[in-house]
Every structure is written in C-alpha cells, then in structure tokens.
Amino acid sequence: MQKSLWFNGLPPVATQRLLSAATVLNLGAGQQLFLRGDSFDGIYCVVEGGLRLTGIAPDGQENLFSVISPPTWFGEIAFFDGLPRTHDAQAVGPTVLLHVSPARLEGLVSEDPQWAFRLAVLMAQKTRLLFFALEAVARLNTQAKLARAIVMTLTQGWTAVPDLAGSSSPLNQGSLAETLGMTRQTVAAGLKVLQDQGIVKLGYRRITVTDWPRLCDMAEIDAEYPPNSLHNENPT
C-alpha cells in the first residue's frame, strides 16, 4: 500500500481514517466488479491480483482499455460528476480489493472537507498518466510503445520506480495488442526485438522483464516518472 503515490502522500491520520472506512472484497477469476453504466458504488484499491477495464463497441467487440494492478486506487471519477461507470471491470484472477462505499466517502468528506481535494488529486494523477500514455501513441515507435506499456502497467501509481527485473507484466501479448491498437503480429515482432536485446523474456502468456533500466530507457521513462512532485501532504 505504501507504494501508492497517492496513498503515500496522505497524512498518517488520513491514511488510518481511510483504511478504517474500507472493507475487504474478494473476487474470483473472471468475476465482474461493475459494468459500464452502473451507478457509483464507491472507490476501490487493488491489493492483490488485478482487473481488466473494458468496453463493448457498437459491433459487440470487447475493447481492452487497461489492466490495473496493485496498489492502484480507482473509481473516483463518478464521485465528482455523479455519472455512471465508464467501463466494465472484471478480475483477471483471484483478486483482493479494498472498498470504500459512497456513504463512508461522504462521511470522510463531512468530517474533513480536505478529502474532496485529496480525491481530486487522485483524479489529477490519473489524468497526468493518461497524457503520458497518449504521448506514446503519438510519438514512439513500436518497441518503445511496448516498453512504456509494460513499465506503466507494472508501476501504476507507485511512489518510485524500483528495479523490477524478474517481474512479469500483467499484460500478455494479446492484452498489449488490444490496449495499444496493434495487431498481434506487430506486437509479437516488437517483443521479439526486445527479447533479442535482452530486455524481456517471452514465455507462454508471460512477459518477464530481464533488464529494467534498459526497458525504462526504451520507454523513455526517467526519474520523473511517476510524477512524485504532483502532490504530497507529507513534507519530508
């Protein structure tokens, strides 16, 4: 939990209050958390496992938007605009979540109005990372796009980028193709280049990082990612 950029930036009394307001929710593999169009039912944090965020196109095709992994907090958008959920959320395997219900969120804000600002900061961090991802679509080559997608998925919302050599990406080749809008053939060719350079190792439904610094270099990600200076209520 302390790896979360947003959570780690909260004052200790606020983190304790948030955790006391949360309940633990366990999902089985493939279990739906919510659907696009559902009413706001609170915010969540991925503690273990992961979730697929998807949408259904008019032709019935499922489109993968993202795979979110620990320690990501999510679901805050509808708290502000009162509109329905924007995507379907489904567990990719056995998944453990923290859940803060709307009533308990309202209680937090009533007790301390600063909570509205804190939740806005969480949303701002997501917006900043979204622009970071959009830059890759517009500017980077295939290998760099793949590298950035792997790095960002492994480090969603972290306070720092540690050396994650040996870690397996939550995104496999099929998921990368869906999220980046590439063909599986293009993804396979790009990943083979990364493997030939000793940056990743490919296995069955698995992409393992073998050289984390070079993967970050390929992704054009430096010490400013994640953006640690965005907001922190805990001065050091």
Domain ranges within the chain, ordered by starting residue: 5-128, 141-219
Q: Which of 166, 169, 152, 167 lies closest to 216, judged by CA?
A: 152
User: Is the model's pTM score more than 0.85?
Assistant: no
- Please compute the mean of the pLDDT values over residues 89-108 and round it to a whole number: 96
**Which SS3 state, helix, strand or coil, does residue 110 take?**
helix
pLDDT of residue 231: 44
Average pLDDT, the chain: 86
pLDDT in tens, 198-207: 999 998 878 8
The token duo for 164 is 């994650």
Question: Higher-confidence residue: 230 or 11?
Answer: 11
Q: Domain 141-219: give its CATH code.
A: 1.10.10.10
Beta strand pairing call for 200-203 and 32-34: unpaired
| CB contact at 8 A, 150 and 172 | no
CATH (residue range 5-128): 2.60.120.10
Q: Which of 129, 32, 48, 128 is nearest to 85 (CA)?
A: 32
Tokens of 66: 């993202």
**pLDDT of the residue at 135:** 79
Strand partners, 96: 26, 48
**What's the pLDDT at 165?**
76
pLDDT of 235 strictly over 50: no
